[in-house]
Structure formats: C-alpha cells, structure tokens
Chain A
Amino acid sequence: MRKNNSRIDMAFGSFRRNRMAMFCLWSLAVLYGMAIFADFICPYSYQDEDRNYSYCPPTAVEFRDHGHWVSPFVYQRDLDFDAVHRRVYVTDLAKKYPLHFLKNGRLFTVDAPGRCYIWGADARGRDLFSRIWYGARISLSIGILGVAISFVLGLLIGGIAGFYGGWVDSVLMRLCEMFMMIPGFYLMLALRAAVPENFNSVQVYVSVVVILALIGWASLARIIRGMALSLRERDFVLAAKALGVSDITIIFKHILPQTISFTCATLMLTVSSYILAEAGLSVVGLGIQDPIPSWGNLLSDAMGIVPVIFAPWILLPGLFIFIAVMCFNVIGDALRDAFDPMFNEGL
C-alpha cells in the first residue's frame, strides 16, 4: 500500500519499523538526556574529589539492615593496606549514611563524610558515575557540533563545485585533496599542535570541534560534488533555471536535498567517527584537559596496566564510547536502508 506522501516520509516510515534502529535511537536519547540533566542526576560535581578514596571500588547501596527493609543507605569505607601494601577498602558496618533523595537539587546524595561511589572512584577519589555523565556532555556534543560544521562546509563546497564545474570545481577539489592527503589522526595532531597551550577549557573545546570539522569535510565535499555534477544535468535543474531561480537557491533547494539519503546515513556514521576521534585525542592528552571530563580523557586514566587490574571500573567510559558509537552506526545503516528504494519495495 502506497500512502499519500513523499519519498522522505516513506523513508522515515520504514525507519520507524526497524526495531534495532529505534532501540538505538532511544538508547541515544537516554544518553543525551543523562548528559543534559547531569547536574540533577549526579551526586557530585565533576571536580568534587576526596583523596582518601583514591580508586575506591563501587559502593554497594544497602536496602536491608539486620534482616529488615529500610530506606537505602551506604556504609562508611576506610582505606587500609594489605600485607603487600596494596590499597584495600574496609567496610565499616558501624557507620551508616542514608541516601537523601532530591536534596540540594540532586537526585541522590550522601551526607559528608560518607561518600557514595556507585561506579567507583578514580585516582583522586572523584565519583566516576558523575564524571561519566558530565563527560558525556563533552563527548556527545563534540561529535554533533563537529559534524554540523563539516557538513555545512562539505555540502556547500561540494554543491558549489559540482554545480558550477569548470575552474571553480578544480580549485575547490584541489583544496579538498590537500586535506585528504594527510592521514586523519596525524592531521589532528598537527592542527592540535598549532593551538596555543594556554587555552582555557572552552577554547580547547572549540578548537577540538574545529579540528574534527576540518578533517571530515573534504571527503564529504568530494562525494557531494560528484552527486551534484550528475544532478545538475537533470531536467528539473534546467527547468528551475528556466524559471529564473537563482543558482544558490537551485543548489540548496533542488540539488542538495536530492542527496538526503546519502547525507543522513553519512551524518550518523561521521558523528560516531568524531566521538572516537575526540576520545583518541583526549586519550593521548591533546583533547579536553583534566579536570573537565570527557569519555576520552576519563579513559586515559586507564592507560596503565596497574590501575586497570586493581580498579577495572575505570574502563567504564570505554563502554559508553562503544554504546554511543554503535548506536550512531546502527542508526546510520538503518537510515541508508530506509532511503534505499529497492529495500523499501520489499516491505
């Protein structure tokens, strides 16, 4: 049955029937929701540290006390050293700290000196749960912003090069090739090296976004250029010209929208590659700087083998990178299938 709507509506209809993709979309919605409401959800701020709790393992939230159900609480934990001078945390059953809900504008907190580390603590005794969600703000937004910039650049430059052809095309494509001939990660490192060291965190964030955008636009521009080159020969482009529509309107209204199936899918795949690229930069210490968390620099704590063996929970940010990247990839693939007319016919 063919409904009375456009190709784009049909594509989104078929996307909605893809359960895997919808699941990933909702998962991403949860991740973004957590990032946006990090101030409310997290018990601590991202820089709230307590050196007495270095690499404190995840705290168990207790619901039962002497065989009775009670409101949730946590036990006090004290640092001690075992026979080979390794850190161990001893649970002090005598000291209990109840969890307070919706206190001080936070979902749950524990009164000092009690600490509640539901996903463990890092080397400086900062709550990993809180740092992961504050870090999500950086990691999840940086991909989107970087993609937004590189897609605007790629679509604009590719569209103009393909539509006009001739020397415009040659100049713009040589420019693209200049960016493409350097391997992505080394280009990132080179660009990052060009950024002054005394930047504050906002400036670093912006520079990472710009660096990501600069490495991605060129390959997109080349593909869009190829599509524009063939689309400009289509009758409706000639018709638009014959109706007096200006070149720039033709590019934006009649050429670029035709590439939507490719653009949508690539957009999602590029977001995931940018999340990975940010993590890569941060892991080697060139991205977002401590104390501001990002999934990448949280993971850089897990670079040494010793912390990974004794505090495996510090690998958790990697799991979230994995989830986010996978969700974006699945959605990208699903969008590509949804826009593919052959695939749609089968449904």
Chain B
Amino acid sequence: MIPLLSINNLTVAVGEKILVDRVSFDVPKAKIVAIAGGSGSGKTTIALSILRLLASPLRMTQGSILFEGQDLLGLSAESMRRCRGDRIGMVFQEPLSTFDPLFTVGEQIDEVLAVHTKLSKQERYKKVLETLSEVELSDPPRAYKSYPHQLSGGMRQRAMVAQAIVARPSLIIADEPTSSLDVTLQVKIMELLARLRSKNMSILLIAHDLGMIAHLADEVIILRQGKMVEKGPVSKVITEPHHEYTKALIEAFQ
C-alpha cells in the first residue's frame, strides 16, 4: 500500500548551516506518526516544509515530499495553497496567538470552508457547528460566536482541532498540540486526536513528550539536531532503544 505521505532525504538549510539533515519517513493511512526530539531538533521545520511554508532564509536544499502520490514540491504555488487546509490540516501549539483576535472562532473556522469549498453560507454554518460538536465543545453556537480570548485554553485548542479537520483533510500535522495545556486537558486532547485516526485521518504528531507519544502514536521518529537517530514502531523504540539519545530521552520521562 502506498503511504499517504512519504518524505525522502528532506534537507533544510539556512545558508551553510543544515537544520534538517536527510530525513526520510512515511506516514501510512490512518496512522499516527510522531516526531520526537528536543528543542531545535528541526521538528517544526519538517512540519513547515511539508506545507511549503518555510520562512525566507530557510530553504529546502534536497529531498522530495510525496503526498497522495503527488510531489508537493512540484506543485504550483496556487495548487499548493489549495492543498493547505483542504488536504493537509495543521494544529498549532499556542491557540491564542494562532487565532486572529478580531474575528470569532466560528468565523475563522468558516473561513477554511469558504476558501476550499463552494458551500452556501448556511451549509458552512451547519458544518462548522457539526465540527465544533465533533471536537466536544459544549454549546457549539456559543463557541461559534466567541472571540478567541473568551474561550478557555482547552476550548481554544479544541476549536483549533476543529479548524484543522473541518475541511476533512487526510493528513493532520499537529505541532505540539498539548504543550500549552495542563495535564488533564492534555489527556482529553490526546483522546480527541486518537479518535480522528478512526475517522481515517492520519496524524503527523510533533511532540517532545514521550509519554504522550507512547500512548498515542503508532510509529515514532527520534530527531536530534536535525538528524534522524531512530525510527520504528513506538512499542519497539520505547522498549528497545538503540541510540544513546533515545535512551536518554526515555530515561528523562521515567
């Protein structure tokens, strides 16, 4: 079976400095693949490379990114834009700053549908409410009308998951989706993400919390300073780590 997302030899550099060094991995359909590693190991850079949103001094020097059998690097800027949000959704780390403070949460989720679908206003509104209840926000109409600062951290993060899945993408990139939340909320958001897998969505989870990864992911990639040091099914990597860095990471969480 062809994997949903297949990354080969991805290398990202800024000037002479290499930030991500020949990283290759696959994300199969309806699986959760996690990228773990310390700060500055290049996790977020990989996520942004997939969406082709690297900020200007950073550039991809080699590698290929195949998504649903299509080379993302070969797409025109316009086709790439259509792909974002529609076929690949993204959940960011800090929901307060990723929502525009001037619009309600509902309006911003609606924007995704307005950009990618031809649905009428009523149809979009219905779909946004459905998605808001899907992520278990109580009272979806009220959440729709709330401004980002009026929701609690957990509710905002749920709203952001709703924004990522509203257009039914086949891949969701979640960049440390729980690190701004307290422990009980982390569990709730993790459960929410786990349910998405059963809806045939794949998740590329970026995290530094190995506990969460062990709980949630099917496969894990360990990154260290831009280099992939270990890759494999979660149970195997956690129980029989080969690399010293992986061992150190696991020990840190025990």
State whether the Cβ of A104 lies closer than 8 Å to any Cβ in chain B. no
With a 10 A CB-CB cut-off, give which of A235, A239, A253 has the most chain B CB atoms. Answer: A239
Q: Are B102 and A235 in contact (CB under 8 A)?
A: no
Question: Which chain A positions have C-beta within 8 A of B116?
Answer: 244
Which residue of B81, B86, B97, B99 contacts A246 across the interface (Cβ within 8 Å)? B81
- Taken residue by residue from 141 to 165, chain A's Cβ proximity to chain B (1 for < 8 Å, 0 otherwise) reads as 0000000000000000000000001
Partner of B84, one of A244, A249, A257: A244
> Can you list 14 A-B pairs, Cβ within 8 angstroms, ordered by A?
A4-B150, A7-B102, A165-B56, A235-B92, A239-B90, A239-B92, A239-B98, A241-B53, A243-B85, A243-B111, A244-B86, A246-B81, A249-B115, A253-B111
- What are the nearest 10 A-B pairs in CB distance? A244-B85, A243-B85, A244-B84, A235-B97, A239-B98, A242-B90, A236-B100, A235-B98, A243-B112, A244-B81
B98 touching A236 by the CB < 8 A rule?
yes
- Compute how far the CA of A246 lies from the CA of B112 in the bound complex, rounded to whole angstroms: 11
Interface string of A108-127 (1 = CB under 8 A from B): 00000000000000000000
**B 72-102 contacts with A by CB, 8 A:** 81-86, 89-90, 92, 94, 97-102
- Which residues of chain B come closer than 8 Å to A165, judged between CB atoms? 56
Q: A245: which B residues are within 8 A, CB to CB?
A: 85, 111, 115
Q: How far is the CA of A165 from the CA of B56 in the complex (A)?
A: 10
Interface size, A (range): 20 to 34
Which of B86, B94, B104 sits near A235, CB closer than 8 Å? B94
Interface contact A243-B115, CB-CB below 8 Å: yes
Contacting pair B90 A243 (CB below 8 A): yes
A1-33 CB mask vs B (1 if < 8 Å, else 0) is 000101110000000000000000000000000
| B-side contacts of A240, CB under 8 Å | 100, 111
B115 near A242 (CB under 8 angstroms)?
A: no
Known: A239-B92, A243-B115. 14 other contacts (CB 8 A): A7-B101, A166-B56, A235-B92, A235-B94, A235-B98, A236-B98, A238-B53, A239-B90, A239-B98, A240-B111, A243-B89, A244-B84, A253-B100, A254-B100
Would B163 and A243 count as touching, CB distance under 8 A?
yes
Q: Does A71 contact B (CB under 8 A)?
A: no
Contact B92–A243 (Cβ < 8 Å): no
> Does residue A258 face the partner (Cβ distance < 8 Å to B)?
yes
Within 8 A of B (CB), among A200-258: 234-236, 238-246, 249, 253-254, 257-258
Contact with A along B63-78 (1 / 0, CB 8 A): 0000000000000000
For residue A238, which residues in chain B have a CB less than 8 angstroms away from its CB? 53, 92, 98
Q: How far, in whole Å, are A8 and B115 apart by their CA atoms in the complex?
A: 25
B125 in the interface, Cβ–Cβ < 8 Å? Answer: no
Pairwise interchain contact B82-A244, C-beta atoms closer than 8 A:
yes
B20 CB within 8 Å of chain A: no
Least Cβ distance of A164 to chain B in Å?
10
Report B9-62 residues with CB < 8 Å from chain A CB. 51, 53, 56
Q: Complex Cα distance A134/B16, Å? A: 69
- Interface residues, chain B, with chain A CB atoms under 8 Å away: 51, 53, 56, 81-86, 89-90, 92, 94, 97-104, 111-112, 115-116, 147, 150, 163
Complex-state Cα separation, A6 to B108, whole angstroms = 14
Quick check: A242 and B102 within 8 Å, CB to CB?
no
**Nearest-neighbor residue (CB-CB) of A8 within chain B:** B102
Question: If A7-B102, A236-B97, A236-B98 touch, does A246 touch B115 (CB 8 Å cutoff)?
Answer: yes
- List of A residues within 8 angstroms of B111 by Cβ: 240, 243, 245, 253
B208 to chain A, nearest CB (A): 19
Q: What B residues does A7 contact at CB under 8 A?
A: 101-102
Q: How far apart are A309's CB and chain B's nearest CB, in angstroms?
A: 57
Distance of A115 Cα from B79 Cα, bound (Å): 74
CA separation between A253 and B94, bound complex, in Å? 21
User: CA A246 – CA B114 in complex, angstroms?
Assistant: 11
| Minimum CB–CB distance for B206 against chain A, Å | 13
Q: Provide the residues of chain B in CB contact with A242, threshold 8 Å.
A: 51, 53, 84-85, 90, 92
Q: How far is the CB of B141 from chain A (nearest CB, A)?
A: 14
Contacts of A4 in B (CB 8 A): 150
Question: Within 8 Å CB of B112, what residues of A?
Answer: 243-244
CB–CB B100/A243 < 8 A:
no
Task: Please indicate the chain A residues that have their CB under 8 angstroms from the CB of B94 in the complex.
Answer: 235
The 8 A CB mask of A76-103 against B (1 = contact, 0 = none) is 0000000000000000000000000000
Q: Which residue of A lies closest to B53 (CB)?
A: A241
User: CB-defined interface of A161-204 with B at 8 Å, one 1/0 digit per residue?
Assistant: 00001100000000000000000000000000000000000000
Judge whether B83 and A244 touch: CB under 8 Å. yes
Among A234, A236, A246, max chain B CB count under 10 A is at A236
